[in-house]
Amino acid sequence: MNTTERQANTSKTLVAAFYAFCPLDDNQREALLADLPTLAADGGVVGSVLIAIEGVNGTISGPKIDVDQLLARIQEALNSAEKPEEPLEVKRSWAEKPVFRRFKARRKKEIVTMGVESVDPRSSAGTYVDPDDWNALVDDPDTLIIDTRNSYETAIGSFEGAIDPGTESFRDFPAWADTGLRALVQERAPKRIAMFCTGGIRCEKASSYLQDNGFGEVHHLRGGVLKYLETVPEADSRWHGECFVFDQRVALNHRLEPGEHSICHACGLPLSPEQRDHPTTIKGVQCVHCVDRFSDADRERFAMRQRQMEQQKQDEGTD
C-alpha cells in the first residue's frame, strides 16, 4: 500500500496534479474551456487548469468521483488530439478539505512558461526516470543533479546533492543553463544530467531545452517529487525537507501530508516555524523575506486584509 492509498483511508478530498504535452487545436481548447467549469461546479471540484496549444497543466481537488470525471474529460480531449496515446501524468494525494477556493480554467500561451518558442518536449526531451529507479541514478557520482524549481521552493526541501540554480522564475532557467550549468558541466565533466521538479512538467521542458542545446545525456524524474514521495518509502528516500506546492497546503512532507511551513500573505513565500516567530514577522503583513519590500501604505492594506480574513474564519467557525 503506497502513501496515497494509506491517506485515502482517512481523508475525503482528492488532490490531483497533472499535465500532458499534447497539441490541442482551437476546437479542443475551446471545448475544454467551456466544459471544465461546468463539470467542476456540478461536482464541487476546485483548482486551476491551464490550457494551451502545447497541452494542459493543472491541480484540482474535490470528491474522488468528480475529480476523476474531470480528469477523464481532459483525457478524452488528449485522445482525440494528434497523439492519441498520450496519457495525463497524474499525481494523487489526499487532504482533509479542498485546497483551493474556486475553480479556474484559463487559456495560456504555454502550460509552463519558459519563454523559448522552439522548445517542444514531444520532439526532443531527455530520458524519463521512474521514481523506483531515481535513487540509483542520483547515487552515481557521475550524475549531476539539477533542481529546476525556484529558489523559494528549493529553500525548504530538495534531493541530496542537487544543484540549486537560484532562479526566481522558470523563465530564468535557459539563461542559467547557458552560463551556470554549462560552466558546471565543463568543470565536473559528469556522464549525465538528472533533473527534477515538483510534478515533472518543468524538468521535462528543461530537458528538452538542454537536449536542443548540446548538453549531452539528460534524464528527468517522471512525475516529479510528488510521484517520488508517493512511490518511494521514506526509509529509502533521498529527499530532505518538504515539497512546496502551489495550493493552500503550502508544503508537503514525505507522507504527502501538509508540512510545517505556512505562507506569508504579503509576499507569497513559505515560512518555517522559526521564521514565523522572528521579531520582524507580522502575520499577513510582513515576514523575514519581505520586511523591506513594501511601503507603509501596502502594509496597512495587508493588515486590513488580514483582519478581514481572521473575521471570516471566526464567522465560519474555522481555525
- 6-45 pLDDT, tens digit each: 455 455 899 999 999 999 999 999 999 999 999 999 999 9
Asked whether residue 51 is domain-assigned, the answer is yes
What does the pLDDT read at residue 83? 56
Pair (190, 144) in one structural domain:
yes
What does the pLDDT read at residue 87? 85
Q: Among the three residues 72, 107, 142, which one is the final residue of a domain in this structure?
A: 107
The C-alpha cell at 270 is 513559505
Pair (90, 138) in one structural domain:
no
Compute CA distances 44 → 14, 65, 146, 247, whole Å: 12, 10, 38, 17
Pair (140, 199) in one structural domain:
yes
Which residue range forms the structural domain that includes residue 12?
3-107
Residue 136 CA to residue 145 CA, distance in Å, equals 12
Q: Is the pLDDT of residue 85 over 70?
A: no
- For 184-227, the pLDDT digits (tens) are 999 999 999 999 999 999 999 999 999 999 999 999 999 999 99
Q: Among the three residues 107, 138, 167, which one is the final residue of a domain in this structure?
A: 107
Pair (200, 167) in one structural domain:
yes
- For 118-135, the pLDDT digits (tens) are 999 999 989 999 999 999
Asked whether residue 256 is domain-assigned, the answer is no
Asked whether residue 180 is domain-assigned, the answer is yes
Number of domains forming the structure of the chain: 3
Asked whether residue 254 is domain-assigned, the answer is no
Residue 317 CA to residue 137 CA, distance in Å, equals 49
Average pLDDT over residues 38-54: 97
Q: Is the pLDDT of residue 5 over 80?
A: no
Per DSSP, 150 falls in state -
Pair (24, 77) in one structural domain:
yes
The one-letter amino acid code at 120 reads D
Backbone angles phi, psi at 59, to 5 degrees: -140, 130
What does the pLDDT read at residue 311? 86
Catalytic annotation, residues: 197
pLDDT band (50, 70, 90) for residue 82: low
